[in-house]
Amino acid sequence: MRPVIALVGRPNVGKSTLFNRLTRTRDALVADMPGVTRDRQYGDGKVGDRPYIVIDTGGLSGEDVGIDSLMQSQVYQAMKEANIILFLVDGRGGITGHDQSIAQHLRQLGKEIIILVNKTEGMNEDMVEAEFYALGLGQPYAISSSHGDGIDPLMEELLAEIPAGDDESEPKGGIKLAIVGRPNVGKSTLINRLMGEERVVVFDMPGTTRDSIFIPFERDGRHYTFIDTAGVRRRSRIKETIEKFSIIKALQAIESANVVILMLDAHEGLTDQDMHLLSFVIDKGRALIVAINKWDGMSRDGRDFVKEQIERRLPYLDYAKYHYISALHGSGVGLLYDSVDKAYESAMKQHQASRLTELLQDAVQIHQPPLARGRRIKLRYAHQGGQNPPIIVIHGTQTEHIPESYKRYLVNQFRKWLKLEATPIQLEFNNSVNPFRGTRRNNAKTKQVLEKRHRQTKHMARKFGGKKNKRNKGDGHHH
């Protein structure tokens, strides 16, 4: 799994600028879809072939009593789970009391902490760094978030110290299933209910330092692996406790999974935290099942309200499968397996290019693409470009002008005709080009055409030029 790097520091020291530079984007790891709350705290970074998660913790002002409460909150949890903490300070402003307060809290974590002295462009780096040794966190490094000075070599060095994830800790076979949701929504109860008495093999296999647990088991001859973010315990040890919630663990579980079950609490409806988690699942393109838990205790009006809320806030999530369950009493839980199996098959299925091309042509025949700049957009053929999620690559002309509404139409047609359930479909469009453009054969052909044109021009010039001369001579003789 990917290492986690947390950015901490006072406001206005350049954390957001560094975050955007590390993620090479101005958007965090959330989907740009209507109804999804945007959150700029979590992002994907990459150095060479080493990906990592970067978190902008934000908000460590050191004012009032805020720092203590913040350090105990999600910020503190994120920093505890990070492999490396990058502590940003302002090289132009010098050390402040807030910096010293933050440094004191960071020392207590026992983590690898690197001081980044930001905004040092055009300054004497040695002199700037020397001042920040006083924070007692080791060697400071001068950087510039806005200009990128010193960042890439530092990241390469830091990631080289973190061993690459050991894929062997993840079981190879079976359907990888992540159950994610807010604290106390019933994740542990559901996992234990799903494994229940039917389990053949259950054991804890520590995955990585991130404490994600892979739990392989078998049901009706089929292999599954739960990726646990809830801290699954044996049935005898389960107590009603508030589950620790970590977005980092949820992110890593979603990334490792083939199928994700997102649990919602029917009594609380859709919350912002649910929308954040949902956006991660959408961004990674995972097959999705939404389990609305604690359904048996709902009144009829309450049930109607929850269904209306889901319909109103998640209209773009028409591919997901919805289940209304009670993890505690078991009602509706058994039906989840069938949806998980179908979602996995849909996400991993291989489709022949000839079949996809045939379906594409059928879709175009039913509903033609619109005109673009007075010319019809043409879609010629399709083939599969990947799985989990299924990627369909479509070749044609003027594909960059295809409107979103027509893309949605194509996705719906493919999903219906390929009988795909609970998985998103991603479309990629390629503009067809002349395969001989720029080649020797095409250049030779162009040369021949030009030579022929030149000969024709000379011939016409001689022919008509000669007639004109004769006419002129005749006129002169007449006079």
**Mean pLDDT, rounded, for 112-128:** 89
Which pLDDT value is given to residue 114? 93
**CATH number assigned to the domain comprising residue 373:** 3.30.300.20
Structural domain count, the chain: 3
Both 413 and 323 in one domain: the answer is no
Q: Is 35 exposed, middle or buried (0-12, 13-18, 19+ CB in 10 A)?
A: middle
Lowest mean pLDDT among 1-5, 155-159, 313-317: 1-5
Domain assignment present for 146: yes
Q: Is the pLDDT of residue 90 over 50?
A: yes
Q: Cα–Cα distance between 398 and 383 in angstroms, integer?
A: 18
Least confident of 197-211, 213-227, 263-277, 423-437: 197-211
Statement to judge: residues 344 and 378 lie in one domain: no
- Does 241 fall in a domain? yes
Tell me the per-residue pLDDT of 389-446, one tens digit each, with 9 for 90 and over: 999 999 999 899 999 999 999 999 999 999 999 999 999 999 876 444 555 555 555 6
CATH of residue 217: 3.40.50.300
Determine phi and psi for 438, rounding to 5 degrees: 80, 0
Residues 186 and 326 in one domain: yes
Find out whether 144 and 118 touch, Cβ atoms under 8 Å.
Answer: yes
Q: What is the pLDDT, as a whole number, of residue 246?
A: 63
Predicted pLDDT of residue 37 = 34
Instruction: Say yes or no: 381 and 335 in one domain.
Output: no
15 and 128 assigned to the same domain: yes
For residue 122, what pLDDT band results from cuts at 50, 70 and 90? confident
Q: What does DSSP say about strands 378-386 and 391-397: parallel, antiparallel, or unpaired?
A: antiparallel
| Cross-strand bridge partners of residue 218 | 223
Domain limits for position 422 = 353-431
Please, what is the average pLDDT of the chain? 79
pLDDT at 31 over 80: no
Residue 414: what pLDDT?
Answer: 96
* 247 shares its domain with 335: yes
**Res. 271: pLDDT tops 50:** yes
Residue 378's pLDDT is what? 92
Residue 115, pLDDT score: 94
DSSP string, 171-237: --SSEEEEEEESTTSSHHHHHHHHHTTT-S----EE-STT--EEEEEEETTEEEEEEESS----GGG
Higher pLDDT among residues 114 and 276, named by residue: 114
Closest residue by Cα to residue 32 from 404, 273, 246, 282: 282
Instruction: State which of 291, 318, 348 marks the end of a domain.
Output: 348
Q: Are 344 and 365 in the same domain?
A: no
Query: Would you say residue 465 lies in a domain?
Result: no
Same domain, 300 and 227: yes
pLDDT of residue 239: 41
Measured distance CA(397)–CA(402) in Å, rounded: 10
Of 396 and 192, the one with more pLDDT: 396
pLDDT at 80 over 70: yes
Same domain, residue pair 250 and 339: yes
Answer yes or no: is 473 within a domain: no
Residues 6+ apart with CB under 8 A from 439: none
Which tops the pLDDT comparison, 141 or 232?
141
* Whole-structure pTM value: 0.68
Same domain, 304 and 400: no
Q: Is residue 441 part of a domain?
A: no
Looking at 322, 348, 374, the residue that finishes a domain is: 348
Higher pLDDT, 442 or 17: 17
Q: Is residue 453 part of a domain?
A: no
CB atoms near residue 359 (< 10 Å): 19
Res. 214: pLDDT tops 80: no
Q: Residue 362's CB: how many other CB atoms inside 10 A?
A: 11
pLDDT band at 465 (very low <50, low <70, confident <90, very high): low
Q: How confident is the model at residue 38 (pLDDT cuts 50, 70, 90)?
A: very low
The answer to the question of residue 391 being in a domain is yes
At 343-360, the pLDDT tens digits run: 999 999 999 999 999 999
Residue 467 lies in a domain: no
Region of 294 on the Ramachandran plot (φ > 0 left; ψ -120 to 50 alpha; else beta)? left
Q: Which of 366, 317, 344 lies closest to 421, judged by CA? A: 344
Question: Residue 203: is its pLDDT beyond 60?
Answer: no
User: Looking at residue 29, what is its pLDDT?
Assistant: 36
User: Is the pLDDT assigned to residue 21 strictly greater than 90?
Assistant: no
Residues 193 and 112 in one domain: no
- What percent of the chain shows pLDDT beyond 90? 33
Same domain (yes/no): 222, 276: yes
In the numeric block, the tokens 């008509």 are attached to 464
Q: Name the percent of the chain in helix, strand, coil, to the closest 5.
A: 40, 20, 35
**End position of a domain, from candidates 324, 348, 372:** 348
